[in-house]
């Protein structure tokens, strides 16, 4: 089946009263079908494989569903309950960045696993408009790119398990749903699709502003440095701010979060002794993140470490010239002999 389900056969079949087929099909669906199938069947005449395909579109891995078979000649409606079991998924997933920026680029990926069959076609859609198609059997021109006012598209990688395309010169109109559709080869022509949403922002992400602090601190002091975003985030698209020291995120006990004029901020409040324990110098950075994009502003923190010197005595100072000591030793040896 094209839906990716294997039909385990009808569990039961029943002929309805003669007057029932003349009632609206939505009535029949709401009266007979299980709740999970009603919304798919109401107002649609379903029969045979078409019914199963429609019901299987958004159902779990294994389920039972009831389909209607309408016989125009006899004027009867049959009920068939089928048990469907989803076979392995041929579409492994799509990779679409959550955010991109006008004038920039975005890489999209579509992965599949056909196993016992071959690929008939792979297509990319933006808001239901096709912009890329790969058909292996069309050897003269297997790649088709359809022009778009929102971006230009280039294929950057293609293998047995997937395709990656690069969207360049993005515009804000490039926001929306991106869907990859994979169709298996004859005889099943099994079709699966997956999608994700990307938002193209008009302004690029900018590094945060870092202010305050000194070049050198003394042990016992508290280091205070301020970091804030350059502009308020767009509604529904929050910015994440964090302090990082020597590659590790600073814990909540050493930061203070706030908002000023709608822009988020985060202060670093770190006892200088922490820097002393790290040798007197640490590299800190404030990072701003939006989806998979992040930028940082760096600052070096220094705290002098007291140097303690230990002098080891080389022995008693006799105040006797070295050559006299040598003579005395030789004289002693001669006497002993």
pLDDT of residue 253: 97
pLDDT of residue 310: 43
pLDDT of residue 76: 60
Angstrom distance (rounded) from CA 82 to CA 90? 23
Q: Domain extents for the chain?
A: 5-86, 91-201, 209-302
Instruction: Identify the segments of the chain with pLDDT beneath 50.
Output: 1-33, 36-61, 63, 84-86, 308-320, 322-325
pLDDT of residue 66: 56
pLDDT in tens, 257-312: 999 999 999 999 999 999 999 999 999 999 999 999 999 999 999 999 875 444 44
Per CATH, which fold does 209-302 belong to? Immunoglobulin-like (2.60.40)
Is the CATH number 2.60.40.10 carried by domain 91-201?
yes
Q: Check for a shared fold between 91-201 and 209-302.
A: yes
pLDDT of residue 184: 95
């Amino acid at each position: 089946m094209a839906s990716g389900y294997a039909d385990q056969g009808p569990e039961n079949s029943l002929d309805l009263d003669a007057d029932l087929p003349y009632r609206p099909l939505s009535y029949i669906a709401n009266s007979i079908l299980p709740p999970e199938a009603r919304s798919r069947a109401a107002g649609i005449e379903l029969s045979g494989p078409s019914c199963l395909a429609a019901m299987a579109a958004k159902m779990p891995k294994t389920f039972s569903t009831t389909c209607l078979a309408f016989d125009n000649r006899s004027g009867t409606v049959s009920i068939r309950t089928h048990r469907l079991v989803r076979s392995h998924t041929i579409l492994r997933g799509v990779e679409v960045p959550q955010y991109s920026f006008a004038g920039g680029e975005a890489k999209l990926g579509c992965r599949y696993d056909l196993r016992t069959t071959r690929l008939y076609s792979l297509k990319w859609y933006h808001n239901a408009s096709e912009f890329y198609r790969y058909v292996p059997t069309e050897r003269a021109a297997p790649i088709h790119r359809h022009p778009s006012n929102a971006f230009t598209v280039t294929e950057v990688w293609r293998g047995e398990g997937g395709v990656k395309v690069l969207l360049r010169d993005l515009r804000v109109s490039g926001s929306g749903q991106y869907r990859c559709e994979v169709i298996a080869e004859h005889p099943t022509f099994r079709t699966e699709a997956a999608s994700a949403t990307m938002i193209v922002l008009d302004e690029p992400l900018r590094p945060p502003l870092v202010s305050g602090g000194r070049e050198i601190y003394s042990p016992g002091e508290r280091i205070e440095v301020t970091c804030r975003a350059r502009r308020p985030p767009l509604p529904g698209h929050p910015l994440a701010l964090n302090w990082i020291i020597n590659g590790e995120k600073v814990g909540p006990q050493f930061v203070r979060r706030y908002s000023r004029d709608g822009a988020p901020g985060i202060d670093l409040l770190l006892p200088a002794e922490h820097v002393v324990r790290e040798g007197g110098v640490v590299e800190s950075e404030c990072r701003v993140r939006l989806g998979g994009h992040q930028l940082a502003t760096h600052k070096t923190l220094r705290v002098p470490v007291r140097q303690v010197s230990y002098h080891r005595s080389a022995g008693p100072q006799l105040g006797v010239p070295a050559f006299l000591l040598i003579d005395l030793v030789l004289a002693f040896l001669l006497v002993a002999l």
